[in-house]
Amino acid sequence: MVNVLSVREFDTITFNEDYRESQYYKYLDKKHFTELKSFIEEYSSENDSADILEFMKPGFKRGVGSTITFNNYVGIIQLPSGFQIEILPKVNLDGEDETLSRTKRIFLDMLCCLKDFDGKSFNTASLNADRMNLYEIFINMYLQETRKLVKHGIKSAYILSEDNLRFYKGKLKISDHIKANLAHKERFYMQYDEYLVNRAENKLIKTTLLKLLKLTQSSENDKEIRQLLLSFELVDISTNIDKDFASVSLGRDTKDYEKLIAWSEEFLRNKSFTTFSGSKKGSALLFPMEQVFEAFVAKWVKRIFTEESDGAYRVSVQDRGYYLFDNPQKFRLRPDIVVRKNGEPILIIDTKWKRLKPDPNMNYGISQADMYQMYAYSKKYHTSDIWLLYPLNEDVAEVGDISFIAEQDEDIKINLKILFINLAEHEKSILTLYKELEDNHRAAKTVQDSY
């Protein structure tokens, strides 16, 4: 099994041997620590607004020495030596006996809601999360999708070919025919179409499988890859992946290839699901937890609120109905979730992947900018109820829900609530949110009926 260091989001690692058993630091030997630091320093960003040093931050602590802290991004980093750093989200789990496998499963369930990841077809329940690290799990997901393609049948296409034939077929290439056949009057240098499986999409998948065969340390994945390669015996290896990716043609008949081609690009180009480009010295699959949490909550709010209300509530995600300024229309507002009833907004929900603190004197760690943003949503959507959802953590487990009330004008009183999602019991948490919304509206209707 390849050497793997499993850490959680917000953990700090050091190569100081005095901290091998520390509860505050994760120990990594100096060789791999230096390798990781070099990887971070050369890892480039495609977006000027994103800096990897904000997410994997080298530092120095007196008495400890050099450190690296992981923030906000979760996934796997594979160093040039093959050593892997597995970064898991900081999830609040009950009990001291919880293993990393449960955290992995929760993370994978969340990840499958992310649009760019689009893992709806992946069967996470069948994954051996307790025996596989994240990289092997991602490989296994790719193999599941490839197996599904093979089961449906890999597609053929008309491939333009050239050859010196003994019979006339297709179009004669006169200049090449003259060069090749001055002494062979019985031959014809022809250009013709053949219906073959040797299309660009299949080349890329085969090339990916061969790369993963070299990378995997899992006997289960190794066996599956070798079996799948038998179905691609008539397919060539891609010798120019840029050209083959440019030749990919996805449509109604090639729907089964869509996710596979996206994943092939991640593996073959050492790309990440982040704004960061791949490293030449290593590879990484990193996911922004802010987006993962947002997509996960949105999916379950939409499902539960719609089902429980029998369609009376309409839930829109990343709503774009309003601008901060109307004349001219500038600075579009995009709340994560808007709940409407009879066409009118009744609730705005925004998600924040941040660990709040139990100290009211520090405003629980809530950003002032976030509160301004919520105020703008209430003003523009003409709704009183605004919810900010944060992941539950052990520090705020006893705090309970937090409310802020503000008088906006004579008609609307802003009621902003800070609520928490227990990721280990997410369905129960969101069902509780639905019941709270129902209770609020029953109470509001009672007040209205009394006038």
Q: Amino acid identity of 210?
A: L
Q: Chain-wide mean pLDDT for the chain?
A: 81
* pTM summary value: 0.77
278-320 pLDDT, tens digit per residue, is 445 567 778 888 989 999 999 999 999 999 988 899 999 988 7
Contacts of 403 (CB under 8 A, 6+ apart): 415, 416, 417, 418
What does the pLDDT look like over 109-142, one tens digit per residue? 888 887 766 554 555 555 565 567 788 888 888 8
Q: Alpha carbon of 291 to those of 73, 286, 296: distances in Å?
A: 10, 12, 8
Order across the sheet with 12-14: list the strands. Answer: 26-27, 12-14, 65-70, 56-61
Contact (Cβ atoms closer than 8 angstroms) between residue 323 and residue 333: yes
> Using an 8 Å Cβ cutoff, are 108 and 137 in contact?
yes
- pLDDT of amino acid 277: 44
Domains, the chain, ordered by start = 1-88 (no CATH), 157-196 (no CATH), 290-450 (3.90.1570)
Per residue in 175-192, pLDDT (tens digit) is 878 788 877 777 888 776
Question: What's 181's DSSP letter?
Answer: -
Q: Residue 183 and residue 291: Cα distance in Å, rounded?
A: 67
Least confident of 43-57, 310-324, 357-371: 43-57
Alpha-carbon gap, residue 448 to 451, rounded angstroms: 6
Q: Would you call 70 helix, strand, or coil by DSSP?
A: strand
Please give the single-letter amino acid code of residue 10.
F
Closest by Cα among 99, 97, 98, 68 to 85: 68
Residue 423 in contact with residue 106, Cβ under 8 Å?
yes
The total number of residues written for the chain in this structure: 451
Task: Report strand pairing: 73-78 vs 322-326.
Answer: unpaired
Q: Going by DSSP bridges, is the β-strand pair 385-391/413-421 parallel, antiparallel, or unpaired?
A: parallel
pLDDT for residue 67: 93
Burial (CB < 10 A; 0-12, 13-18, 19+), residue 181, is middle
Phi, psi of 143 (to 5 degrees): -65, -35
Lowest mean pLDDT among 236-240, 249-253, 377-381: 249-253
Other residues' Cβ atoms within 10 Å of the Cβ of residue 92? 18
At 205-224, the pLDDT tens digits run 999 999 999 888 888 999 99
**DSSP category for residue 425:** G
* Between residues 405 and 427, the one the model is more confident about: 427
